[in-house]
Amino acid sequence: MVRFVNITEDADGQRLDNFLFRVCSDVPKSRIYNAIRRGEVRINKGRCKPSNKLKLEDVVRIPPFKGQSTTDAEAGPSTASPSERFVAGRIAADALTDIVYEDDLLLIINKPSGIAVHGGSGLQTGLIESLRLVRKADHFLELVHRLDRETSGLLLIAKKRRALLRLQSMLQEGRVEKIYRAWVAGQWPKHVTEITAPLKKLVGQDKGVIVASDGKASQTLFSVIGRTEHATLVEARPVTGRTHQIRVHAAYAGCPVIGDERYGDKAVNRQFSEQNVKRLCLHAAELVLKWDDAPHQRLSAQWNPDPGLRLPEHSSEN
């Protein structure tokens, strides 16, 4: 059944294709683009392009897509099979066990390690897709930023489009401070408090990140919190926001993050695995939101490292 959707503030200014990806999240993107090209999708009865920006009070015609029942389509985003809903429910339940902060505009969770923030790369359902299926009362849920699948910690999710745009702007302006904690292999050099090695993303099958002279400028600040005989707990503050930045810079310093299967040391990871350290030891521990019209907001998320990593007493360093 064809449905007509009135655009509210949550979609004001959004591209048509991105809007459709959200409200028809179970429909392949290729099918959505085909529907726009064929004129099945219309804005105010007129033909449109994927790049058209939506405005308040626009009316979008959305055709019936195969697999969407009338009831589900009217209800809003996403139909899913029972098995998909079961998986989504489990993912959402795990993610929502530790809500750090929530109001009408923002949801901040302490994401567990092992949960991908979005689908793709062989994953049909990620965290954000699962939340959209489970939290039907929230008509708008979008990731403000991302965390790697194996990284735990603070994740910002916008519940209104205006919150998404504002926070993305704050990120670009450097008004969101991110503070991570990481267990790294070996003894972190005391003199290394800043790494500025430029980073370059590889394309093709490798899809990793390397230090390269023609890479993008990158900066991470490091400080030592404590040490054990074979590992160091460090605080990492990424000044820039490159893909895998902390992980690559730590490896560049000769102390890769423990459990890092891409940039770490396999033999070292195996040794710590035998001590029940079974994950990437990187955690987004704190966020500082530097609002321009309100006091700065500092948020923190508890991290309980695996049993094989425990700091001795009086081990912290200045």
Which residues have a catalytic role annotated? 148
What type of residue is 46? G
Burial 123-143, CB ≥16 within 10 A → b, else e: eebbbbbbbbbbeeeebbbbb
Cα dihedral 141/147/148/151 (nearest 10): -120
Helix H, strand E, coil C: the string for 263-306 is CCCHHHHHHHHCCCCCCCCEEEEEEEECCCCCCCEEEECCCCCC
> Beta 99-102 vs 176-185: how paired, if at all?
unpaired
Q: Identify the helix (H) or strand (E) that includes residue 184.
A: strand 176-185
Task: From residue 202, give the alpha-carbon distance in Å to each of 38, 199, 208, 215, 216.
Answer: 36, 10, 5, 10, 12
Length of the chain: 318
Is the Cβ–Cβ distance between 179 and 287 less than 8 Å?
Answer: yes
Dig out the tokens for 176 from the structure. Answer: 């969101």
Give dist(CA 164, CA 171) in Å, integer.
11
Dig out the tokens for 281 from the structure. Answer: 């030891």
Neighbours of 82 (CB within 10 A): 7
